[in-house]
Structure 1
């Protein structure tokens, strides 16, 4: 991973356009090729980013200011970063990450829903588990009966943080022309009212799943082999 702290201006152009005026920020270039721009606030959500596959070209603008241009491979989206003053620039080998370890019930719930996607909706089919984005894996990537992509985030207890997490995944995934449009399903054994309101406002479907019923479907004692 490469970490750069710099006074920079950032412009994103593509399906959406966004401008960040000059300020001191942290730029992260990950080994998977993703580029993320963070401020000192706003928790863990980047101000702007480009998810892989993409290419990073370092150069100098006409006025002599160092400039990075990050271009998406599958679209015309570009992220242009003008580095007016670099305060820090370092690279670090983080090695192989073992990934997030879910608790037993939540992990098993993910496995059960991957095997029995009909619990999420009629005609739903699994594409893959742990679909990786630039900020982490979404639990399930599915297809609905019309062939549209569906991102599923699974929790034991669904609260606002889980909805926010799925919202960030959807923002990233909808930048990929090979996936979009991507809609979201927030699945949990229990979903708090505030989380349901927020999810509905953001166009995310809420599905309450019964863990015991799913376990019954998958009960090894009912199998012939």
Structure 2
């Protein structure tokens, strides 16, 4: 992983355009080819990014006044690109992190993921599984599926669904919808319990909420035979 702290401006060009004016930011270049731009706020969400596969070209001459280096990050599968104009490098380092074993989920969340993947039509008639733990540049989506109409659906699973989980799914959807092979991608937020504030936020963002009955999915409780 390469880390660069620099005073820079950033332009995103593609299906939409976005501009980050000059400021000091962290530029992160990962071994998989992804490039992420972070500020010193906003939690762990990058200000902008390019997901792999992508190529990085560095130019150091014939630049605008004040620019010492320009990075052009070009997506391989589309015309999207990031242009990062560096006015000053404050710090640069590179680190070999090795292979990561991945996130070990809470036992119930891991069971929910396994059970829902095996019972994917719990989400609706005609649903089919694409895969569990679908990798993205910012983390794995719990389940990627297709609905009865063939549209892509990203599912985020929690034991207790709160606003942080909705924010996490929102970031995945923003990234997945940049991939023309998957877009349009809609989201489902699934949990044993979903807090009212999280449900309101999810609904506002067009994300469906589904409450899962863990015991019924495990076959230890027949929800259809209950009186209440």
Unaligned 5+ runs, structure 2: 221-228
- Which residue number corresponds to residue 82 of structure 2? 79
- Which residue number corresponds to residue 64 of structure 2? 63
- Which residue number corresponds to residue 119 of structure 2? 116
Deviations 1:90-133 (A, max 9, x none): 11001111111111111001000000001111111000000011
- Which residue number corresponds to residue 184 of structure 2? 181
Task: Provide the C-alpha distance between the structure 1 equivalents of 2:139 and 2:57, rounded to a whole number of angstroms.
Answer: 24
Size of the alignment, in residue pairs? 218
1:88 to 81, 87, 91: 91
- Which residue number corresponds to residue 220 of structure 1? none
* Equivalences for residues 1-225 of structure 1 within 5 A: 1-60=1-60, 61-63=62-64, 65=67, 66-216=69-219
Task: Provide the C-alpha distance between the structure 1 equivalents of 2:4 and 2:110, rounded to a whole number of angstroms.
Answer: 36
TM norm structure 2: 0.93
Q: Secondary structure at the match of 1:111?
A: helix
Task: Provide the C-alpha distance between the structure 2 equivalents of 1:104 and 1:134, rounded to a whole number of angstroms.
Answer: 24
Unaligned 5+ runs, structure 1: 218-225
Deviation of 1:22 (Å):
0.7
| CA RMSD in angstroms, aligned pairs only | 1.3
Task: Provide the C-alpha distance between the structure 1 equivalents of 2:71 and 2:39, rounded to a whole number of angstroms.
Answer: 18
Task: Provide the C-alpha distance between the structure 1 equivalents of 2:126 and 2:195, rounded to a whole number of angstroms.
Answer: 27
Deviation of 1:63 (Å):
2.5
Deviation of 1:3 (Å):
0.1
